[in-house]
Amino acid sequence: MKYTKYLPYIILGVVLLYGFKSDAARDQFQKMKTLTQIIRLVSENYVEEVDMNDILEGAIIGLLDKLDPHSSYISSEQFELINEQFGGEFEGIGIEFNILEGYITVISPIPGTPSDRAGLQSGDKIVRINDVSAYKITQKDVLKKLRGPKGTQVDVTISRPGLDEDFDVTLVRDKIPIVSVLAAFMIDDKTGYVKVSRFSKTTAREITESLDELENQGMQQLLLDLRNNGGGMMDQAISIVDMFVSSRDTILFTKGKIPGSSEVYRARKSNKDKDYPVVVLINRGSASASEIVSGAFQDLDRGLVVGETSFGKGLVQRQYPLRDGSAARITIARYYTPSGRLIQRPFDDVADYYSDLGRDNREATDSTLAEKPKFTTKNGRTVYGGGGITPDIFSALDLELSSSTRKVLSHPDRPTFKFSGEIKSEIQGKFDNFQDFTSSYNIEGKKKKQFFDWLEEKNIEFEKEELEEDWTYLENRILSEAASSIWGKKYLFMKLMDEDSQAQDALNHFHEARELISSFSSPGTVSE
């Protein structure tokens, strides 16, 4: 209720701002008066006590929701976490975790962090924090208790699979990098693979370091995986495209109404640009900055785009901090690719806007492509607008899993991860390296029965026949989790590649990506 007393002053401010020079201003003033009246009626007369802070926050959220799907209100609690996500680092102990069976379970220690240096392992459970039980702890409380200023200590008690007794570890908090590049490795003797999960403050630097390492290993072509990358910082996306473009081409332009919102972003001419073919892999979860990158590669004929039509998020938000520590994220412009394509999908109905992503027939056919607006790339190829980035080569993820398999994979206790811990010691005892492991180890016979028995023991519902049908995929998921916990995170993706139909398909199209480079015309600039 504390905010209700300020509403008359807000209304007065509107009056002073607009005066009564227009009918629109008078209508807005009347609506503000009505809002004040409703808030007072609820506060004074509603049958139950209500939290007026929540009511007012809901009104703010509703106001911004009316604008578009991406303008939003960010509470003070959310504000700090969001800034962390894209800021490149936070201070804490350095673990990726899930809460499984009521306990904080280490998915993987982040390399070079206090948890890694202390020897924490994948599968470890944190059962006590500062000698207080951590059973049934919430995710929010995990962050409160384990994060903290650099140099401060936190005592944790660890329960490790295979050990009879728990043990104590003292961790000294440190700066923890938020990694954008989840994996970078050689698929074969000439093909490099880089998986990018977000565009944060350090993404361009991380990619540069990854490419340098892969080039030293003999990389002659790159598979850039932007699937399920929801975007992030625009400048990082521009910097990444800039690495591969040697002329002053337009990478992106924006259009808005306020000063500074309409801009053209061009590549910087450099002799240090990468000259090898690139295939960019996208899906319907690739959004915003991912679409800037894939759209620029496509429009400038610098790389081939393979996969599914991207999300279609082409609205530019500016984040305005508010006095109470919260923030308003407001759309100020629209993104356009070099050829002039608007990335943003239509959003007349917000519910349809999100449900559309799940449609099986979402991808363009020959008939629907004919209805889409056509644009021309730098070298004269036809590309299509209408929202999102339509790939050059459509490739669906060939993954038709049974309901039992989906239940197992989506179960909150992460059965494939936990079972990988059951076989981890056996793998470590048999194999010195990933190559020997992945070429000869399999889960059959008693080990396979052990997995089914383990699912029953955990009361996870499944039909054995359905899991048998999907066993190749399930086995690969279990073994990828094991590889990650033994040799490091990138080996998770190396092993998953075995059953990744989209990635395997993308590898078949490097000759087309190479042709794009060889067909470059004289340097020019594509612009709006």
Closest alpha carbon to 334 in 79, 70, 82: 70
- pLDDT, tens digit (0-9, with 9 covering 90-100), for 459-473: 888 999 999 999 999
Q: Which residues pair with 318 in a beta bridge?
A: 330
Give the model's pLDDT for residue 16. Answer: 47
Give the model's pLDDT for residue 525. Answer: 40
CB 39 within 8 A of CB 7: yes
Q: Which residues pair with 329 in a beta bridge?
A: 72, 319
Rounded-to-integer distance, Cα 468 and Cα 185, Å: 31
Q: Who contacts 446 (Cβ-Cβ below 8 Å, separation ≥6)? A: none
Maximum distance among all Cα pairs of the chain, rounded to whole angstroms: 82
CB 155 within 8 A of CB 146: no
DSSP 498: G
Three-class DSSP category at 345: coil
Q: Which residues pair with 153 in a beta bridge?
A: 172
Residue linked to tokens 């996500």: 85
The whole-number average pLDDT for the span 317-337 is 89
Which amino acid is located at 263 in the chain? E
E strands within 57-198? Answer: 72-74, 89-92, 95-100, 103-109, 125-129, 132-133, 153-159, 167-172, 174-177, 181-186, 191-196
Confidence of residue 1 (pLDDT cuts 50, 70, 90): very low
Rounded-to-integer distance, Cα 510 and Cα 221, Å: 8
Crossing angle between the packed helical segments 403-410 and 471-487, to the nearest 10 degrees: 20
pLDDT more than 70, % of the chain: 90
Give the model's pLDDT for residue 82. Answer: 66
> Catalytic site residues?
288, 299, 313
Q: Please, what are the domains in the chain?
A: 4-66 (no CATH), 89-177 (2.30.42.10), 181-397+509-518 (3.90.226.10), 403-494 (no CATH)
Crossing angle between the packed helical segments 234-242 and 289-299, to the nearest 10 degrees: 30
Three-class DSSP category at 63: helix
Given the DSSP bridges, would you call strands 181-186 and 278-282 parallel, antiparallel or unpaired?
unpaired
The whole-number average pLDDT for the span 177-205 is 93
Q: What is 42-61 written as a DSSP string?
A: HHHH-SS---HHHHHHHHHH
CB 185 within 8 A of CB 490: yes
CB 396 within 8 A of CB 351: no
Length of the chain: 528
Give the model's pLDDT for residue 289. Answer: 95
Give the model's pLDDT for residue 385. Answer: 93
Residue 203 tokens, joined? 């993404």
Closest alpha carbon to 308 in 506, 79, 64: 506
- pLDDT, tens digit (0-9, with 9 covering 90-100), for 107-149: 778 777 888 888 888 788 999 999 999 998 887 788 889 988 9
Closest alpha carbon to 96 in 496, 495, 489, 490: 489
357 class by beta-carbon count within 10 Å (0-12 exposed, 13-18 middle, 19+ buried) = middle
DSSP 505: H
Quote the pTM value: 0.83
Rounded-to-integer distance, Cα 225 and Cα 306, Å: 10
- pLDDT, tens digit (0-9, with 9 covering 90-100), for 35-85: 888 888 888 888 888 888 888 888 888 888 888 888 888 887 777 666 665
The whole-number average pLDDT for the span 87-101 is 80
Q: What is 239-254 written as a DSSP string?
A: HHHHTT--S--EEEEE
Q: Which residues pair with 281 in a beta bridge?
A: 225, 306
pLDDT for 448 beyond 60? yes
Give the model's pLDDT for residue 371. Answer: 83
pLDDT more than 90, % of the chain: 45
Helix (H) or strand (E) holding 319: strand 315-321
Give the model's pLDDT for residue 120. Answer: 84
